Amino acid sequence: MKKIEVLAWGVQHIASNHRGVACSTDWEEFQSMSIHDDEVPTVQDARLMCEDLGMERERCYVDNSWGIIVIDVEGWADTIGQQEYTPTGHEMWKKSDVNIGE
């Protein structure tokens, strides 16, 4: 899977793990993805995922006015996001019994 695909899967996975919160993975319109939660565990999972995908920490931030986590993919989606992702087995942001992409 390409890193952008892993990011979309991961956003959905993280949202479903945290009280089933909503998310948006339609990144092409706004050049971002979002998780509609601003709780610390959810933010930490999102940041760990972004770091695993080669994103700068600043690309994953909380928009306090909306109470959502924003993941900025502008520029990244067309470059690093097109690279193949190789799982390390140490992805701390996902459930251990779930394979990426399932």
Name the strands in the sheet holding 32-35, side by side, starting at the edge strand that comes first in the sequence: 23-24, 32-35, 68-72, 60-63
8 Å CB contact between 71 and 57 = no
- What tens digit of pLDDT does each residue of 15-57 get? 999 877 999 999 999 999 999 999 999 999 999 999 999 999 8
8 Å CB contact between 42 and 35 = yes
Whether pLDDT at 76 is above 90: yes
Helices assigned H by DSSP within the chain: 3-17, 27-30, 40-52
Question: pLDDT exceeding 90 applies to what percent of the chain?
Answer: 83
8 Å CB contact between 49 and 7 = yes
Map out the domains of the chain as residue ranges.
3-82
What's residue 20's pLDDT? 73
Strand partners, 32: 72
What's residue 2's pLDDT? 97
8 Å CB contact between 3 and 54 = yes
